[in-house]
Amino acid sequence: MEKTRHWWQRKPRDMSESTSENTSSSASTETPQQAQSTGAVTPDELEDLRARAAKADDSWDRLLRLTADFDNYKKRAAREREDAKKAATESVVTRLLGVVDSFEMAMLAAAQPNTTIETLKAGVVMIQGQLRSTLSELGLEEVNALDQPFDPALHEAVSQQECADRPEGQVLQQLRKGYKLRDRLLRPASVVVAKAPSTNP
């Protein structure tokens, strides 16, 4: 038969057990404000983090798609530029083939024993006109500098020459023609420019 123990005879409870029970009880009843103050993540914060993560994943996917689209655009633009260059080159070469044919016929004619210098000269003049016409169709223009005021944007002064009957700065002689392709200068005209005669004291 078990003996009845008085309160002063009972073994004291372990303080760690009491502390653990109190902690467990307080954790089960912890409010969101208390969780926030202790650094824990509340359900609302967890849901917000999940939404942010989903939004970040969507933004990353869109960035990858945009990057791929931009790379494809650059490749397509490079191909189109290359195709345009090839088409332009083919157009020019095709137009010049007629001039090449004329030169070949002139060479065959020059090999004939009955061909005269006058005949060859006429053939060369014809081919020159054909070439000029072809280049003009492509947009080539001559820069006519003779007797024009010197223009540094179109002319290249090779030398100056004293001249009493021409105004100073006028082109006296054109040594080499200049050319423009539509509005773009391809080559300036090489010229000799007039200057006022020097006066001897």
pLDDT of residue 45: 85
Residue indicated by tokens 């954790």: 27
Structure tokens at 131: 């070439």
| Sign of the CA dihedral with 159 first, then 165, 167, and 171 last | negative
- Return d(Cα 119, Cα 128) in angstroms, integer: 14
Hey, what's the torsion of the CAs at 111, 113, 116, 117, to 10 degrees?
Answer: 40
Let me know if the fold of 43-138 is the same as that of 140-201: no
Which residues face 159 on adjacent strands? 192
Query: Model confidence at 96, in pLDDT bands (50, 70, 90)?
Result: very high
Structure tokens at 193: 């420019």
Q: At what angle do helices 117-137 and 43-110 cross, to 10 degrees?
A: 160
- Return d(Cα 150, Cα 159) in angstroms, integer: 12
Cβ pair 138, 92 in contact under 8 A: yes
φ, ψ (nearest 5 deg) of residue 137: -65, -30
pLDDT of residue 20: 47
Structure tokens at 78: 């490079």
- Return d(Cα 132, Cα 140) in angstroms, integer: 9
pLDDT at 32 over 80: no
pLDDT at 150 over 50: yes
Q: Which CATH architecture has domain 43-138?
A: Alpha-Beta Complex (3.90)
185 CB burial (10 A radius; 0-12, 13-18, 19+): middle
Give per-residue pLDDT as tens, 111-143. 998 989 999 999 999 999 999 999 999 999 999
Query: Model confidence at 25, in pLDDT bands (50, 70, 90)?
Result: very low
pLDDT at 160 over 90: yes
Give per-residue pLDDT as tens, 44-79. 888 888 888 888 888 999 999 999 999 999 999 999
Of the listed ranges 42-56, 118-132, 145-159, 182-196, the least confidently predicted one is 42-56
State the pairing for strand pair 184-187/140-143.
unpaired
Q: DSSP class of residue 147?
A: T
- Which residue type, as a one-letter code, is found at position 89? T
pLDDT of residue 152: 95
Cβ pair 176, 158 in contact under 8 A: no
φ, ψ (nearest 5 deg) of residue 24: -60, -40
- According to CATH, what is the number of the domain 140-201? 2.30.22.10
Q: Where are the domains of the chain?
A: 43-138, 140-201
Query: Model confidence at 189, in pLDDT bands (50, 70, 90)?
Result: very high
